[in-house]
Amino acid sequence: MTGVSGEAGGEVPGRRRHPGQLRRYPRRHAQARRRPVPPAHRAVTSKSHAVQPGPSGVGPVSGDFAVRAAVPQDDPEQVFDVLWQLAPGDARPDPARLAAARLAAAWRDLHAQAGRRLLLAVAGDTFVGTLDTLVVPNLTHGARPYMVVENVVVAPGWRRRGVARTLVLAAFDDATAAGCYKVQLVSNAARIEAHEFYASVGFAQSALGYRRYLAAAS
């Protein structure tokens, strides 16, 4: 499931950046600029420490943010605090040992999966946005892969401030670097505002999507 509010924002032009340095984006009066990033399958080179957000996962209403790939040292429950904004009816992580272990196992599997890259928007010590990507090997279109995008979520206090746009442009850069021939996502039919945003960053409504939800295995 994917959903987000419309955004506008970008990177400060005119300044050179070391390849391993976080990309920083002013909150206002910025001109969006796309820059190459490492391919989705390549190891993260940033030396930044894991971020420790507050319990709500919602950042302050002002300040700059940076986009980086999630690393295993990040806290999956704090990432889930942001993801929960997309589906408040979803069950939150239970503090019980078994549930915590399942979440930790899923987090390890996410980082071990080839082609998987979870992008995080970070403001200070707070996670304020997520975008999950998977580069899928493919036999058609000259055997070029494609990218699937999921879980585009921005914390309420950071919407309409360029966070989602910056995350999507970073995903486009990753897809281009990985040689993908397309980037695709699905969005809940009721999220009209999100659809307008996706159109504004270059997505076209060119297919009809289907889902079948499955019960958990007993």
Among 6-10, 63-67, 119-123, the range of highest mean pLDDT: 119-123
Q: Which stretches of 50-123 are assigned E, i.e. beta strand?
A: 65-69, 116-123
What is the dihedral angle through the alpha carbons of 149, 69, 166, 186, rounded to the nearest 10 degrees? 10
Task: Share the mean pLDDT of the chain.
Answer: 76
How far is the CA of 155 from the CAs of 34, 47, 63, 182, in angstroms?
Answer: 23, 25, 14, 27
DSSP per residue, 35-59: -----TTSPP---PPPP---TT---
Decide if 7 is inside a domain: no
Q: Is 188 in contact with 1 (CB distance < 8 Å)?
A: yes
- pTM of the full structure: 0.70
The whole-number average pLDDT for the span 132-157 is: 97
Decide if 15 is inside a domain: no
- With a CB cutoff of 8 Å and minimum separation 6, the contacts of 48 are 22, 68
The whole-number average pLDDT for the span 44-64 is: 37
- With a CB cutoff of 8 Å and minimum separation 6, the contacts of 96 are none
Decide if 100 is inside a domain: yes
Decide if 10 is inside a domain: no
Helix (H) or strand (E) holding 63: none
- Domain count for the chain, please give it: 1
The whole-number average pLDDT for the span 83-106 is: 76
Length, in residues, of the chain: 218
Decide if 168 is inside a domain: yes
Q: How many CA atoms lie less than 13 Å away from 134 in the CB half-sphere?
A: 13
Q: Nearest-5° angle of CA 125, CA 32, CA 2?
A: 65
Domain with 73 in it: 23-200
What CATH number is attached to the domain comprising 32?
3.40.630.30
Decide if 208 is inside a domain: no
pLDDT at 94 (0 to 100): 63
Decide if 165 is inside a domain: yes
